[in-house]
Amino acid sequence: MRSCLKIAGMAALVVMVAACSEQNDGAGQQAGAQQQPQATPVSTVELKAQTVPLVEEMPGRTVAYRMADIRPQVDGIIKERNFTEGGFVEAGQQLYMIDQEVYLARVDAAQAELSRQRAILDQATKTRKRYDPLIKSQAVSQQTYDDAVAAEAQGKAAVAAARAELEQARIDLAYTTVTAPIAGQIGSSDYSEGALVTTNQSAKLTTITQLDPIYVDVTQAGGRLLKIKEAIKNGRIKGVEQGQIEVSLIIDATGAEYPHKGTLQFSDVTVNETTGTVRLRAVFPNPDGTLLPGMFVRGEVRQGRIEDAFLVPQKAVMRRPDGTAYAYVAADGKVVSKDLTIEQSQGQDWLVTAGVAEGDQLIVDGIQRIAPGASVTPQPLEAAKAAE
């Protein structure tokens, strides 16, 4: 009986030792698992170098291509107005007719004076010719001959003066017909028939504005323009040829893109002291008169292209307190921080010219849960979205 009890006690002890051993083994395995951190899943995109057009959006306003204020050149009463306010007029088209009676009379008087002076000159010339052979034989005195020559010269001068007076009278007569110096859209008339106008008046009769083509003045930061010019000079920005820089236009009032493209004409040689900007002027076709002077617009200026650049999503880029930009990439299952050189924004991306390389796995999602050196499990962004 005692032997049986002894055997039973030993068997229970063996079971207890085995159970303790299993518990110790399980705890050791759990501790080992806790010592090895879990890799954080992140979404990535593969960066590819590409040639990116350098497009910069700039605020601006439309400016009339040409504008002419119509003012009278002579005094008189307006007899006729020969245009429709707000309509289109051609260059040379008659706009106003000023009373011509006085100026017709002046032309007639100047013509008569010219005829009289020509008759006097003709008589003086004949007298001098008669004295030519006589002076040789001393049949007339030298004084008499000199008087004849002087009279002929005075007659020529008088004829020239009378001819100039006649030309001036004809010019004044022509000015009684007020014509359009340029083609364009004419505004309202500030004077009507029966109104008295004068030569030196400051008030205009009306204004003609040429709308096709039309100028668009946009502004760019002076420092930014300087950097672009330096990059063009160094060959980093390519494809820029004077007179062929294309400009697109967005109308602020509607947010719609203007259907016609423009070309950059020039940039100012001075920087605005107040705003620190430089004015760029582009010219756009405006066949339908959609653009009117003074409209607020946004110009998208294509200032060349950059080769071997990267488009990095803006949400993947972070900035330090000093403003420098950086992003995380996944390399061999670890997070690596990369400092970026940003050229400008392109829609929802940053145009990056240095700091990353072809094939880098840029981390775009899960950035808040990681830090440099952390273990990650990268997954392509499209695959992650599809799985979701």
Quick check: 185 and 209 in contact, CB under 8 A? yes
pLDDT for 379 equals 84
Q: How confident is the model at residue 134, as a pLDDT?
A: 87
Give the tens place of pLDDT for each residue, 26-56: 444 454 445 556 788 888 888 998 888 777 7
Hey, what amino acid is at 263?
T
The whole-angstrom distance between residue 215's C-alpha and the CA centroid of its chain comes to 8
Domains in the chain (CATH in brackets) are 50-64+212-387 (2.40.30.170), 69-97+179-210 (2.40.50.100), 100-175 (1.10.287.470)
The whole-angstrom separation of Cα 86 and Cα 184 is 10
Structure tokens belonging to residue 94? 């008659």
pLDDT value of position 33: 46
The strand pairing partners of 351, in sequence order, are 311, 344
Q: What are phi and psi of 6, to 5 degrees?
A: -65, -40
What does the pLDDT read at residue 230? Answer: 66
- 3 token code pair: 């032997």
CA distance between the termini of the chain: 70
Which residue spans within 136-195 are E strands per DSSP?
A: 177-179, 184-186
Write the single-letter amino acid at 354: A
CA gap 145, 221 in Å, rounded: 80
User: For the chain, percent helix, then strand, then coil, each to nearest 5?
Assistant: 35, 35, 30
The pLDDT score that the predictor gives to residue 136 is 84
Contact 102, 76 (CB under 8 A): yes
Task: Give the pLDDT score at 6.
Answer: 47
pTM given for the model? 0.64
pLDDT along the chain (388 residues), means of 10: 45 45 49 60 88 82 93 94 92 94 95 95 93 85 90 95 96 95 92 92 93 89 68 61 74 87 78 79 89 90 80 90 91 89 84 88 87 86 62
**Element spanning 104, H or E:** helix 101-136
